[in-house]
Amino acid sequence: MSAGPTPTTEQSAVPAYLVDGPEIYRRSFAIIREEADLGHLPHDAHDLVVRMIHSCGMVDLAADTEVSPGAVAAAHAALTAGAPVLCDAAMVASGITRRFLPAGNDVLCTLHDPRVPDLAATLGTTRSAAALELWRERLDGAVVAIGNAPTALFRLLEMVEEGAGRPAVVLGLPVGFVGAMESKAALVGHPAGLEHVVVHGRRGGSAMAVGAVNALALGAAR
């Protein structure tokens, strides 16, 4: 490029592209609703799953997604009442759009708390799981968003069994190859009957968890 003249628009190798943010969102959601099969999901979960699909670019995510019948209503009620959002990863906390939250809700991630490495060593577990020890005072009635670590989701279920509190809803979206599938199956099949949103299998992740929280926050604010 350096030998030639400053390119004009006509000479640009960049194709024309849409620059209207709200219109990009509208078209994206329209494509998802056209292509995705949401029929097996609770009606009030459709907006949620559309945003989860938007976060990852895959309409077939819907087929692996399971939402318990009361999950969306429970999440809306909890968020409206000011429940905190407890996140297993800093990326999840970072991505949540604070202005969408209906009650200035706290968004907490304890993973990088300086006490966590010692807790993990003492408890003989991962830092992601040990970080949940610092959730105890906020767990009851919270919206829990697990977007990274299967061990965090397993540990959450153990803490519920131990009587540490009962979250209003659990977004079980850990990702990966070791324990992710199993932890999501454990959440769905757990006798505690927690309200849940999961993507079965290996898929999941922090962006998907953020999409889910943002959708629930927008729904609660409506």
Q: x/- site string to its own copies, residues 58 to 97, per CB under 8 A?
A: x------------------------------xxx-xxx--
- Applying CB under 8 A, the site for its own copies has a residue count of 65
> Quick check: 176 and 149 in contact, CB under 8 A?
no
3-state secondary structure 13-42: CCCCCCCCHHHHHHHHHHHHHHHCCCCCCC
CA angle 169, 132, 115 (to 5 degrees): 155
Residue with Cβ nearer its own copies (48 or 87): 87
In the set 180, 198, 216, 217, which binds its own copies (CB under 8 A)?
A: 180
| DSSP conformation class of 5 | P
Is 196 an annotated catalytic residue? no
Of 3-42, binders to its own copies (CB under 8 A) are 6-7, 12-15, 17-21, 24, 27-28, 31-32
Of 36, 49, 20, 17, the residue nearest 197 (C-alpha): 49
Question: What element of type H or E holds 79?
Answer: helix 71-80
In the set 56, 63, 134, 164, which binds its own copies (CB under 8 A)?
A: 56
Q: Which stretch binds its own copies (CB under 8 A): 55-63, 73-81, 99-107, 214-222?
A: 55-63
In the set 65, 68, 110, 126, which binds its own copies (CB under 8 A)?
A: 126
CB neighbourhood size of 60 (10 A): 12
In the set 39, 104, 114, 124, which binds its own copies (CB under 8 A)?
A: 124
DSSP 174-209: --SSSSHHHHHHHHHH-TT---EEEE-SS---HHHH
Q: Which residues bind its own copies (CB under 8 A)?
A: 1-2, 6-7, 12-15, 17-21, 24, 27-28, 31-32, 54-58, 89-91, 93-95, 124-129, 150-151, 154, 157-158, 160-163, 175-180, 182-183, 186, 189-192, 201-207, 210
Cite the active site residues.
54
